Amino acid sequence: MKTTLSPFHLAIPVHDLAACRTFYRDVLGCEEGRSDDHWVDFNFFGHQMVIHYKPKANDSTLHTNPVDGHDVPVPHFGVILDWDVFHTFAEDLKSKNIEFVIAPYIRFKGKPGEQATMFFYDPSGNALEFKAFKDMSMIFAK
């Protein structure tokens, strides 16, 4: 199995292209790439993420699954950051008054896969999770 990481490509729907463009660029600090009237590319922590305009759906039902005593939004996406970068990023988000679904905390404390994690939504309701492992070899620990 390949052990080096390759950048992924992710395209997500947004119903407010302007608000999401500002969010990913100015709040999360992602560098903007190519764009058109209905989409914008971003360097999402070394990965290619594209926000695509899609009209807001009438059904805005949110689903969650219980994980470590929290209701984790499904679906969600994000990035695994270095431990120190995660904590600096979390403090930056707090200073920008991000409303967390799950505030930064340590999950699975003292168990395999112990990690720092946090969840929040973008302006179009896409759930994001950022996490960090003190020991990166534990990413896939059982």
Say if residue 69 is in the same domain as residue 133: yes
Say if residue 86 is in the same domain as residue 142: yes
Q: Which residues contact 22 (CB under 8 A, 6 or more apart)?
A: none
Residue 90 in tokens: 């979390």
Task: Order the strands of the 77-81 sheet from edge to edge.
Answer: 77-81, 127-132, 115-121, 100-107
- Cα(51)–Cα(13) distance, integer angstroms: 6
Say if residue 40 is in the same domain as residue 71: no
- pLDDT at 128 (0 to 100): 98
Please state, in angstroms and as integers, the Cα–Cα distance from residue 125 to each residue in 14, 52, 82, 107, following that order. Answer: 8, 13, 26, 23
Say if residue 30 is in the same domain as residue 94: no
Say if residue 39 is in the same domain as residue 67: no
Ordered per-residue pLDDT tens for the chain, 142 residues: 566 788 999 999 999 999 999 999 999 999 999 999 999 999 999 999 999 999 988 776 788 899 888 999 999 999 999 999 999 999 999 999 999 999 999 998 888 889 999 999 999 999 999 999 988 888 888 7
Say if residue 50 is in the same domain as residue 77: no
The CB-side HSE value for 11 (13 A sphere, CA atoms) comes to: 7
Domain containing 74 equals 63-142
- pLDDT at 23 (0 to 100): 98
Say if residue 51 is in the same domain as residue 67: no
Which residue in 94, 110, 141, 40 sits closest to 130, CA to CA?
A: 94
Say if residue 81 is in the same domain as residue 110: yes
Number of separate domains in the chain: 2
The model carries a pTM of 0.91
Say if residue 48 is in the same domain as residue 93: no
Say if residue 49 is in the same domain as residue 29: yes
